[in-house]
Structure 1
Amino acid sequence: MSGNPIELSIALAENERTRPLLEGSVVAEGIRLRPSRLHPSEMFWRQLRYSDFDVSEMSLSSLIIAVSRGDTRWAALPVYTFRKFYHTAILVRAGSGIRAPADLRGKRVGVPEYQQTSVIWCRGILEHEFGIRADEMEWFMERGADRSHGASTGFAAPPRIRLSFIPPSTNIGRMMVEGELDAVFHYLKERNLVDRSTIDLASDPRVTTLFENPAAEAARYYRKTGIYPINHCVVVRRAVLERHPWVVLNLYAAFLAAKAEARRRMLDSLQHYLAPGLLGEQARSGLESDPMAYGLRATRPVIETLIEYVHEQGLSARRVGLEELFAASTLDL
């Protein structure tokens, strides 16, 4: 490592764990980061199509698919900037007759992109937990080839999947309220260069969630499987690592420090509830755990489950190995 820091461009979506890096309160030793705040949809499209940034968040499913097809531009760090129980956020149209997962059979489902991680998690959980297969639904995808992540990874609809592209004149939100779709897996209304929907379906009385109590379903699934689905990882351009291999662990340490800073802020805020006993012992015990853990040792079963889902859903011809995805120096973290 030379005495002068190297300069790297980095793209992140802002949340409490990335904000310290974006604002500069946490720095990576030996590295001067030039940050861009971007919506994930746009960020992933720009990275997969144009390789705009040296470091960025990345759709974990798109990375798996790209690597399975020989794309070696990126090495992942076991840093997971976003996790969510996306199947609990599936939206259904009132009047569609959908009251339980089984009712999705034969229905019209809108997705921003068929291969995106959140949608893969939804399909995998529906199949393995409720017996609902992807080929039992009809799929409608909002992103066209000019803005899709799949256009850069060779996406084609898997066998037996009925998939149509939504015309540019409309979008998922409009089709839902006009009765042309019955359900949505992962609805995006935030403005960015990729997604088109703008209607606030969450506050529309014509739309509700598939699960009456999403929090209870998330807790049930987590208790049963121990899986907190991972959506995004962080990638570094391999060309950078060939010149500066030390960047991997320096960046990893910086992301850990940023997460620790976010945790300290959270615990400081919660002290006002803990001190007077407003949060019980179960809450105190839960706060000692780390559901957002980084590193492969803590998350290997989650990553391997997603790799399996990508393969069994026909999006990769083979199961990708962890050593193909992650930088070699992170495999034992």
Structure 2
Amino acid sequence: MSQPIHLHTVLKTTALSTPLKNGALKSDRVVLDFTEITPIHKAFAPMVRDATFDISELAIVTALQAIAFKRPIVLLPVVVASRFQRGCLVSYRPHGDVKPEQLRGKRIGVRSYTQTTGMWVRAHLVEDYGLATPDIRWITHDLAHVEQYQDPRFVEHPAHDKSLLDMLHDGDIDAAIFGNDLPEGDDYVPVIADAKAKDLNWAQQHGFVPINHVVVASAEICKREPLAVRAAYDLLAKAENQQVATSVGPRKTLSGFESLSGPLEWIIDACLEQALLPRKLSLEEVLGPARALLEGEMA
């Protein structure tokens, strides 16, 4: 029997990835050699710019932009992170209440305009309140992971280097979108009231929890070692199925082409409204390369 192929892999440590990292799930065809990168978004630019890793977690917006700008990645049909997003938009109580209906013309800060949490918050504002994305001033520091993408004209980049929290405290912005760094305390007020209930209703209506991160492979490794990448996908799908079997509440991971097709169409349309994509992507563009790989059409 031939030796398994080693693939340089980056995944955040979660309930899904743990059995892959500790060897509880393994394959005789592939070994996933993990590199730990914290926070995980620091792996995104190296992956889409230089294909630094063979397999990598990637934000869904970054993955779609990479495909649109023909970066050498293949999106595998595995979602490794999803979450509800409405509660991530907060204001600072000492400056007064901010309601969604008041946001037209206001300043909202976000780490990067392309940040996936920001995409979801904007999509909810469009869907729930009819607030077109250009109606709001978006204040951000970080540029896109995909170098070819340029922020639209309604995105502003302040000259100072204040953090989002400092800008919120100082009144430079009226509200801010936070991800995993959501601040705690009574002074930080969700802009969208009853966010949790609205999120649950949204998931019931649409059939999925808002997707944050997927898994991609470098196009080069797919061409050079297709069997190893297929084996890696099989491990990921098994880990995802185990996660679903043991988790409670709405499903926050997904695997398989059928599971991702509907959510991807919804996300592509939301990205178009927000000028996050240069054109509408087809599902064939997004999922076709992985389908060819996983269904054996690649040598």
TM-score range, shorter chain: 0.7 to 0.9
Question: Judging changes above 3 Å, is the alpha-carbon distance between structure 1 residues 94 and 76 closer, same or farther for their aligned structure 2 residues?
Answer: same
Q: Measure the CA separation in 2 of the matches of 1:84 and 1:315.
A: 20
Matched, 1:18 2:17: yes
SS in 1 for 2:254: coil
Alpha carbons 2:80, 2:240 under 8 Å: kept = no
Alpha carbons 1:110, 1:140 under 8 Å: kept = yes
The within-5 A match list for 1:47-66 is: 47-66=47-66
- Paired residue for 2:266? 305
CA deviations over 1:132-151 (Å, ceiling 9, x no partner):
111221111122xxxx334x
SS in 1 for 2:265: helix
Question: Judging changes above 3 Å, is the alpha-carbon distance between structure 1 residues 41 and 247 closer, same or farther for their aligned structure 2 residues?
Answer: same
Give, as a single letter, the amino acid of the residue that structure 1 aligns with 2:100.
P
TM-score normalised per structure 2: 0.88
Structure 2 spans left out of the alignment, 5+ residues:
none
Matched, 1:256 2:251: no
Matched, 1:316 2:277: yes
CA deviations over 1:235-255 (Å, ceiling 9, x no partner):
111111112222343122101
SS in 2 for 1:201: coil
Q: How far is the alpha carbon of 1:58 from its aligned partner?
A: 0.9
SS in 2 for 1:37: coil
Matched, 1:233 2:214: yes
Matched, 1:213 2:198: no
Structure 1 spans left out of the alignment, 5+ residues:
190-199, 268-285
Give, as a single letter, the amino acid of the residue that structure 2 aligns with 1:186.
F
Q: Measure the CA separation in 2 of the matches of 1:113 and 1:84.
A: 18
Give, as a single letter, the amino acid of the residue that structure 1 aligns with 2:147.
T
Alpha carbons 1:65, 1:310 under 8 Å: kept = no
Matched, 1:119 2:111: no
Alpha carbons 1:76, 1:325 under 8 Å: kept = yes
CA deviations over 1:197-236 (Å, ceiling 9, x no partner):
xxx6222x32111233322111122233334211111011
Q: Measure the CA separation in 2 of the matches of 1:103 and 1:331.
A: 48
Alpha carbons 1:77, 1:330 under 8 Å: kept = no
Q: How far is the alpha carbon of 1:15 from its aligned partner?
A: 1.1
User: Identity over aligned residues, as a percent?
Assistant: 23
Q: Measure the CA separation in 2 of the matches of 1:174 and 1:302.
A: 35
Q: Measure the CA separation in 2 of the matches of 1:171 and 1:35.
A: 31
Matched, 1:182 2:177: no
Q: Measure the CA separation in 2 of the matches of 1:266 and 1:221.
A: 20
Question: Judging changes above 3 Å, is the alpha-carbon distance between structure 1 residues 316 and 104 closer, same or farther for their aligned structure 2 residues?
Answer: same
Alpha carbons 2:108, 2:174 under 8 Å: kept = yes
- Paired residue for 2:6? 7
SS in 1 for 2:165: helix
Runs of 4+ in structure 1 over 6 Å off: none
Give, as a single letter, the amino acid of the residue that structure 1 aligns with 2:195.
P
SS in 2 for 1:17: coil
Give the number of aligned pairs.
Answer: 292
CA deviations over 1:155-179 (Å, ceiling 9, x no partner):
32324x1x22244531111111222
